A = this chain, B = another copy of it.
């Protein structure tokens, strides 16, 4: 095709125009499917587009029209299962709508750093999706200037962190409630909780659901232990819980935490589920293959990401309504790690 050896720059609409013998505006009309273009002219232009391999320059489009067909996902992490899956969901939906997806990682939760990262994301143009499951994310959502189109992915439906902004959520509280009830129904006197870093200073939705189930059952409410995101945090918390013989059931804020807890229990000679039952949260891909396999609550993160994009898309194109949106009902997945408490307790 490109006979000349030069790295010629890509064809513009003016190149196409002169090739087709029309004005650049007519080319623009053809590209945008404007109705009033004579059939024969359109054919000619399309042929020229095809021949020159013309592709509409996204940068110029963004500058001239103001809309950039891009979204940026702001998140504290890209490697944890939940976050990565949300991102994947966003990308999937964005690809289908031919939007570009950018990502920005909130490395620190410190206010100044978060604000800087939000500005960077804003510079990229287009809409913003902020994963606000943790302090950094919540801070970012709050730091987004009012005029910017943004959708929050949040954990709790109770207090919309971004004020009147659109947001999507999975019902973490309901999920935690369901798992806790499952454990109680097996006969455990109470359920201990190893928490993920909460999104606010106050308690997270997961904590709330857990507490609600205990309260309804009239069970004692032990203090939640603070974990991190990863297995290391769970391991630390698990070591403490393993010392206490009265502990027979442990709910963990996510599956990684649960993994750490399982390990700690094992190291301390307490069997699962014989001595202690353990449940996780998220249903990460490996949870089904652990030994013992993990009882957990499955959340549809990919769907959450897709929904977040759909909502933002609606905002950006002023088409869809911007009602907040609960994405799918969480599902309790019972596996080997939960069972009745030991008889002698």
B residues less than 8 Å from A286 (CB atoms): 231, 256, 259, 286
Minimum CB–CB distance from A13 to chain B (whole Å) comes to 14
Q: When the two chains form their complex, are residues B88 and A78 in contact, meaning their CB atoms are under 8 A apart? A: yes
Chain B residues with Cβ below 8 Å from A104 are 91, 95, 101
Known: A7-B147, A231-B285. A59 touches B55 (CB 8 A): no
Does any Cβ of B come within 8 Å of A105's Cβ?
yes
Contacts of A91 in B (CB 8 A): 78, 103-105
Contacts of A85 in B (CB 8 A): 79
How far is A8 from B36 in the complex, measured between Cα atoms in Å?
34
- A58 is an interface residue with CB less than 8 A from chain B: yes
Give A126's nearest chain B residue, CB to CB: B59
- Tell me whether A235 is interfacial, beta carbon within 8 Å: yes
| A120 beta carbon closer than 8 Å to chain B | yes
How many chain A residues touch B (CB < 8 A): the figure is 55
Q: A274-296 CB contact bits vs B (8 Å, 1 = yes)?
A: 00000000000110111101000
Tell me if A326 is interfacial: C-beta within 8 Å of chain B.
Answer: no
Q: 14 new A-B pairs (CB below 8 Å) besides A79-B88, A95-B117, A95-B120? A: A56-B123, A58-B123, A59-B59, A78-B78, A79-B81, A87-B103, A91-B104, A91-B105, A101-B103, A231-B285, A259-B290, A262-B289, A266-B291, A290-B290
> Which 6 residue pairs across A and B have the least CB separation, nearest first?
A231-B289, A79-B84, A263-B289, A58-B123, A59-B62, A59-B63
**Which residues on A are within 8 Å of B, measured CB to CB?**
7, 55-60, 62-63, 68, 70, 72, 78-79, 81, 84-85, 87-88, 91-92, 95, 98, 100-105, 107, 117, 119-120, 123-125, 147, 230-232, 234-235, 256, 259-260, 262-263, 266, 285-286, 288-291, 293
